[in-house]
Amino acid sequence: MLVTVDQDKCVSSGQCVLNAMEVFDQRDEDGVVELLIPEPGPEYAQKTRNAAAACPALAIHIEE
Ligand code: SF4
């Protein structure tokens, strides 16, 4: 699984962190998404998919 995020689209809602805190974080200053693990292992795969599905800005892209 390969994950990319578009920080220009992110609206700082935090849904990604709520769903997969191991994979995503938010910048302290403005809440914009930060990608912690670009290639999450199987143990984080479903959480990462949930995060992408929950993102209101469609800012998370996954290649399986
Ligand atoms: S869920 Fe989407 S819009 Fe919200 S912080 Fe994460 S990447 Fe940004």
pLDDT in tens, 6-61: 999 999 999 999 999 999 999 999 999 999 999 999 999 999 999 999 999 999 99
Which is it for the CA torsion 4, 63, 57, 31, positive or negative?
A: negative
Q: Is the CB of 3 under 6 A from ligand 1?
A: no
pLDDT at 22: 98
pLDDT at 45: 98
Q: Give the domains, in start order, of the chain with CATH numbers.
A: 2-63 (3.30.70.20)
| Non-local CB neighbours of 56 within 8 Å, separated by 6+ positions | 11, 13, 15
Tokens at 21, concatenated: 């805190």
Q: Is the CB of 53 under 6 A from ligand 1?
A: no
In 1-64, DSSP assigns E strands to 2-5, 24-26, 33-35, 60-63
pLDDT at 7: 98
62 confidence band (pLDDT: 50, 70, 90): very high
